Structure 1
Amino acid sequence: MSETWSPRRTGCPGHDVLDGSSVTLTPVAQDGVSEALARAMLRESAELWRWMGIGPFADEETFLAMLAEQAEAGLNLMAISKPGGPPLGMAAFMRMKPQFGCAEIGSVTYGQDLQRTKAGTEAIFLMLKHIFEDYGWRRAEWICNDQNKPSARAGERYGFTYEGTFRNHRWVKGANRDTAWFSMIDTEWPERKATFEAWLDDANFFADGKQLKSLTDLRHR
């Protein structure tokens, strides 16, 4: 743990295009991105929004209004696509505290074509790299409804550490929500980064796209 800290950059993450080998993250605030994202996400099943505090949406106007509200609340939303393709999902830099060097990766909503893909994992890697390397921040958070077990497993798979559960934390869509909290800190990032890079390497995938070793296996080897 460093005894001194200062960020590398002023402001907050989420204003830059993030390019990877299999995925691109584009700020929703850029011209035309929000409309393309709305069209894409409205084609997805309503089940996609089950654990989210937002959605499902009846039409493009309602979806765009949500994006505007999220931006007003301080979320820097990113549209996720494969290079040159339409949006397949979204995620946000949120609950950002530049004075402490802390941000949550949240509102992670993957359409069917992004779920369980190399591109979906690389998107989270790029967001973490943006937080820890471009901004030099100290802590990244992953939180979810305690009943949302797939999200909790995803957070642990990415290398976040479970910290505890806030009981009766929120009232969402007419029901109580207990919230599970996970974190990753700057001193852990070099090891987590190496694991992501080993997993994302083309040598870790068969010709049909299936992984040779899992992200969890690589981290625990």
Structure 2
Amino acid sequence: MTCDLGQWQARPFPPHQSLQGRLVRLEPLDSARHGDDLWAALQGPDPALWDYLRYGPFAERAAFDAWLAGNAASRDPQFYAVIEQASGRALGVLSYLRIVPRDGCIEIGHIAFGAALQRTPGASEAVYLLAARVFDDLGYRRLEWKCDARNTRSLRAAERFGFVHEGLFRQHMVVKGENRDSAWFAILDGEWPSRRAAFRRWLAADNFDAAGRQKRRLEELRG
């Protein structure tokens, strides 16, 4: 059930603190601590990773480190490194952005997952951890996901995670000298309980066989 707006109060700004999952943990981005891992994870294995982002790829480590340092110091966007629990390696980054506590609205974006993290349960868990904090801990009303309308990987991910497509913003941005039409998605607080239950069932250890293959798809569990 959505909140009674007659009782609505601005929500807290998200604390920049670690979030623990079974497969991954999210740590506030630290360019010194995470730099070596992220340089190895994000540079080279998947050149298409940077196609729809405003930045990258980075030809030199110094430019990459400067980008990381700027993100680590940012309040909004608020960046996290995705750490694989089993290895302790940082395999990607993502962030909160466009944080509006007054309206209870927030976005997940700046997602850059290295090849070793893509299409894994840990990647899904990273998104779940941020979503759960937004709705369950902070009491926000709306979680957004936006992407270039040509970015088929991001479009599929948004739909798989249960975000609802809300429309196309034409000529929304200029990115790397090209037009970007932006696809907008969101999950509302009243929709979150069903998404949360599906995420939890899908992420449970017993949903995967000995080889790590899923038994049931996330979309099936959401119904």
Which residue number corresponds to residue 11 of structure 1?
13
Q: Note if 1:178 corresponds to 2:178.
A: no
Where does residue 22 of structure 1 map in the other structure? 23
1:205 aligns with 2:177: no
**Aligned residue type for 1:46:** P
Partner of 1:88: 91
Matched, 1:152 2:155: yes
SS of the equivalent of 2:80 reads strand
8 Å CA contact 2:82, 2:126 repeated in 1:
yes
AA paired with 2:95?
Answer: A
Deviation at 1:29, TM superposition (A): 4.0
Taking only the aligned residue pairs, the percentage that are identical comes to 40
TM-score scaled by length of structure 1: 0.91
The residue aligned with 2:145 is 142
RMSD over aligned Cα, in angstroms?
1.8
1:134-177 deviations in whole A, cap 9, x for unaligned?
21111110100000011011001001000001000001111100
Equivalent residues in 2 for 1:49-68 (5 A)? Answer: 49-68=50-69
Aligned with residue 75 of structure 1, among 63, 74, 77 = 77
Q: Distance in 1 between matches of 2:62 and 2:166?
A: 38
Please give the alpha-carbon distance, in whole angstroms, between the structure 1 residues aligned to 2:24 and 2:10. 27
1:140 and 1:127 map into 2 onto residues whose CA distance is 10
* Other structure's SS at 1:151 match: helix
Q: Contact 2:97/2:107 (CA < 8 Å) preserved in 1?
A: yes
> Retained in 1: the 8 A contact 2:31–2:68?
no
Measured in 1, the distance between the counterparts of 2:107 and 2:23 equals 23
Partner deviation per Cα, 1:31-87 (whole Å, 9 max, x = no partner): 623454344323533321111111001122211222344444721111102115211
- Partners of 1:75 and 1:102 lie apart in 2 by 13
Does the alignment pair 1:166 with 2:169?
yes
Paired amino acid for 1:112: A
Greater shift after overlay, 104-113 or 81-90?
A: 81-90
CA distance in 1, matches of 2:88, 2:30: 18
Cα distance 1:72–1:18, how it changes in 2: closer, same or farther (>3 A)? closer
Q: Distance in 2 between matches of 1:73 and 1:25?
A: 16
Match of 1:46 in 2: 47
- CA offsets, 1:97-149, max 9 Å, x none? 11111111001111111111111111110010111112111111010000001
| Count of equivalent residues | 218
Partner of 1:191: 194
Provide structure 1 residue ranges, at least 5 long, that are not aligned to the other structure.
none
Residues 72 and 121 of structure 1: CA distance in aligned 2, closer, same or farther (over 3 Å):
closer
Give distance in 2, aligned partners of 1:171 and 1:31.
31
